[in-house]
A and B are shown apart, each in its own frame.
Chain A
């Protein structure tokens, strides 16, 4: 069985949100990972370039002629433009390799402390202690940025406690972003769809005017009866198409709540009479009977509604009854009464009623209302729901279908609260 449209829409929206969320999550992870990788690689590069003191010490041999560095290590140090010197316990230089001229040959304790972590004459230096000797290796000026990072322990403890919440915040943030983007994207898709439908229905209406116009002219002409009947069929079907195009447009607008209701105070009794009279005026002799039962109390009640849409809903009910009555004379009973803060409209006919499948589809919950095949009545539900009301369909015990509409009452507009004034000419 096909899933209802509304249900499918929700599922689709949810899947898009999840998809965007997962993508954003992985993308963020990927970016972070990539950045980390780049930094690490760069760091690694420096690690390779810089030859540590112990490696130099291993290649340094004490001979009769003094300290001698292996040729291989010398070449390596040259390649990196690195220099080195060995100080004894008293701070006096005992060996050096490619030492810059400005670097002194003896150092006091305070000199040692000063250069131990940072720079010596702006050369980044690293100190390594070997028994009573100190190996100082230096890199070219401006080749290494050194900074001492330190944090209070209390701060680090605090970080241990909050890292989870920071991550959670990130997670929620990504989720919100995903929803916002998905919503915007799906809104723009919906808008495009509505505009597309509006465009199509616009394009259909002009040629349909010509078809309807000429069919009507042929029907009213002096043609043979058979041809006149054919023209009548074309005219009738064109009118059906007109209704369908209008319904299609309205459905798409109501579906996505894109059409803001133009609410105004509407007197339901007036609208009911207007629609019923229009159908009676258009009907052929004996084709339609309308019984009106408007409660006296209901005469003066008002609802806040989009009049055009309310008329449309009632017209759709009438049309459905006329189309599917299965009777020679369609009898429609319309009643209106007041129920505390609501007004109740009852529309019943003497037709074949609604099938079980149709009732199931018409009376399902709001969000799952399907729109296939029940256009006219589906729109009735949508219009009433858009007004915050409720439309329930059913079958009468004696045959025929019934639609119960419940709408919230509005406050009576003051300008029209004149009462039943007697007057004389």
Chain B
């Protein structure tokens, strides 16, 4: 299912915020956005629309979002992102273990909200984003994250054109995990700790040296000159960045 075909329900009692968020979602490409201003309206809209994702304010005029989620959880596993305006809500959210998929504190930047919504939809429904497929281009390198193969055009070949002469190198599982994490945050520094967490989620303390080894091997596969990397850049003392 296309990412933008998912139905989103916004539950917030502030009409200006409802309108703003739904406008941004429409602009982003989402076609089915419903709004509700209270728990009662939300229950009705949920029955009617069968949303794929609910964006819910914690404080509603006729109850609180946590109670409503508990109620909804009895009949549905629909992903919920909470919009909270109180710092205490974060603690409550953690403590309650309600199974909310994410939360965002007000005020927020619309881009951040849209990113979180699409991240949850992709994770839950494995939705395909038109704008982001599984292929990454890095100069004369094409990386197919679907198959975990790096295609590199030989120097001297026509740039951007891959023929049978392009060398193919397979990524190892660790290299694949590192590259996927970096590609997901392309242009941004990803800390050593976040990379270790992505590669060794079961406990990542003390893997920094191993990470450096994997990065070096990855550079050998991706970079024209691994000693002078152009795409997989080191942020000294912090982490790495894919540009």
Residues of A bordering B, CB below 8 Å: 198, 201-202, 205-214, 216-217, 238, 242, 246, 249-250, 262, 267, 269-270, 273-274, 276-277, 280-281, 290-294, 299-300, 308, 415-423, 425
Classify the interface of chain A: helix, strand, loop or mixed: helix
Known: A273-B193, A281-B189. A299 touches B208 (CB 8 A): yes
Q: Give the contacts of B103-161 with A (CB-CB under 8 A).
A: 105-111
Q: Does any Cβ of A come within 8 Å of B97's Cβ?
A: no
A213 and B24 contact, CB distance less than 8 A = yes
Chosen A-B contacts, 8 in total, with CB atoms closer than 8 Å, are A201-B86, A202-B85, A208-B106, A212-B108, A246-B87, A291-B237, A416-B205, A417-B205
Pairwise interchain contact A273-B106, C-beta atoms closer than 8 A: no
Given A290-B238, A417-B205, A209-B106 contact (CB < 8 Å): yes
Does A300 contact B109, Cβ atoms closer than 8 Å? no
Given the known inter-chain contacts A242-B107, A420-B210, please indicate yes or no for A415 contacting B203, CB distance below 8 A. yes
C-alpha spacing A418/B210, complex, angstroms: 13
Contact B210–A292 (Cβ < 8 Å): no
Contact B17 A210 (CB under 8 A): yes
The 6 closest A-B pairs by CB, nearest first: A292-B237, A209-B107, A420-B206, A205-B106, A425-B172, A205-B85
Q: Add 5 more A-B contacts to A270-B191, A420-B207 (CB < 8 A).
A: A205-B85, A206-B12, A210-B17, A273-B192, A277-B238
**Residues of chain B having any CB pair with chain A under 8 Å:** 12, 14, 16-17, 20-21, 24, 59, 85-88, 90-91, 105-111, 172-175, 188-194, 203, 205-210, 235-239
Q: Chain B residues with Cβ under 8 A from A249's Cβ? A: 87
A198 in contact with B88 given A210-B17, A421-B206 (CB within 8 Å): yes
**Majority-rule SS of B interface residues:** mixed
Chain A residues with Cβ below 8 Å from B237 are 273, 290-294
Give chain B residues whose Cβ lies under 8 Å from the Cβ of A293.
237
B190 x A209 contact (CB < 8 A) = no
- Which residue from B14, B17, B189 sits with its C-beta under 8 Å from A277? B189
Partner of B20, one of A202, A213, A273: A213
A300 contacts B85, CB within 8 Å?
A: no
CB distance from A35 to the nearest CB of B (A): 50
Residues of A with C-beta under 8 A to B16: 207, 210
A274 to B12, CA, bound (A): 32
**Chain A residues within 8 Å of B175, by CB:** 425
In the bound complex, what is the Cα–Cα distance between A209 and B113 (angstroms)? 11
On chain A, the residues within 8 Å of B59 by CB distance are 202
Q: Is the CB of B20 within 8 A of A210?
A: yes
A276 to B190, CA, bound (A): 11
- Selected from B91, B174, B208, the residue in CB contact (under 8 A) with A262 is B91
- Inter-chain CA distance A280–B236, complex, in Å, is 12
Q: Which residue of B lies closest to A413 (CB)?
A: B205
Chain A residue at minimal CB-CB distance from B111: A216
